[in-house]
Amino acid sequence: MREERHIWKAKALGLWTEACTSKGNFYRSGTIKERAEEFNQLLYREDISILMAAIGGNNTNSILPYLDYEYLKAHPKIIIGYSDTTALLLAVYEKTGLPVFYGPALASSFGELPPFVDWTYAQFETMLQGYGKLPYTFPTPEYWTDEFIDWNRQTRGKEERENQWICVNPGQVKGRLIGGNLNTMEGFFGTEYMPEIRKGDLLFIEDSLKDACTIERSFSLLKLAGVFEKVGGIILGKHEKFDDNGTGRKPYEILLEVLGTPKIPILADFDCCHTHPMLTLPIGSEICLDAGAKSVTLLTNPLEKLR
């Protein structure tokens, strides 16, 4: 397993370095249309079955109008990533109906040292290569971390912190899983590329490197847009390096203030986010959230539509 992971990492870093150094765009690997065309060319290749982000970034929303959704719908591929890749994942899901996976990126996830990288990779492999009989309950990692160590200086695994998910409001509910990185969703929210939030959906949201002021604004956007009145439950991922602005408050406590008195199940500190390790979540699949039991269970096979 480790050998395969290191091969993936080497390829990802090579592609990322080439993209960032071969063109004079500085903050990006090419113009909007060039980047869209590069992605389309990957769609057209029959020898590629999985498209995975190498690392995070910005402005994936810029390329959404230029992607060949019709070709992808007729020739399905697995697409996986997190953070800014949320724009691509949700646009593909909205335009094609194909399942997409909110999960690790090659360099930023598989480039870590053990033990977290091995757990992340094992869960990725489990989700994409078969996880046995449904229903499948996602395991809770024993430890987690958001410690930062420069890749060029990393000689040890990151610190291990005891892990637990937090029941913010109890209850059990089943529904379609939808969501991703909240900051990224704000870049295309309300457009034709953002799936409509349906009654009873389970909303998954996570963010990174934000402060209390910023996430109050982001949560309030969802409230003002009527999203919280539709969803049947909320899964809030861990927030990497959260700045509480001196308040001592956690993201879920700010969410509670925005919501008022919650009437739906809410689970917080879920491990599908910018922290390590990371679960792989199939967006668009039906899941069961039992916030009181601190469990998330997959009910439908996301790979069925890709066969």
Catalytic residues: 83, 206, 274
Whats the size of the chain, residue-wise? 307
d(CA 61, CA 64): 5
Which residue, among 186, 237, 244, 185, has the nearest Cα to 210 in the 3D structure?
A: 244
Helix, strand, coil percent values for the chain (each to nearest 5): 35, 20, 40
* Non-local CB neighbours of 280 within 8 Å, separated by 6+ positions: 80, 101, 102, 103, 104, 123, 124, 126, 127, 128, 272
Residue with tokens 């700010």: 254
Which secondary structure element, helix H or strand E, spans residue 169, and what is its range? Answer: strand 166-169
Q: How many CA atoms lie within 13 A of 188 on its CB side?
A: 28
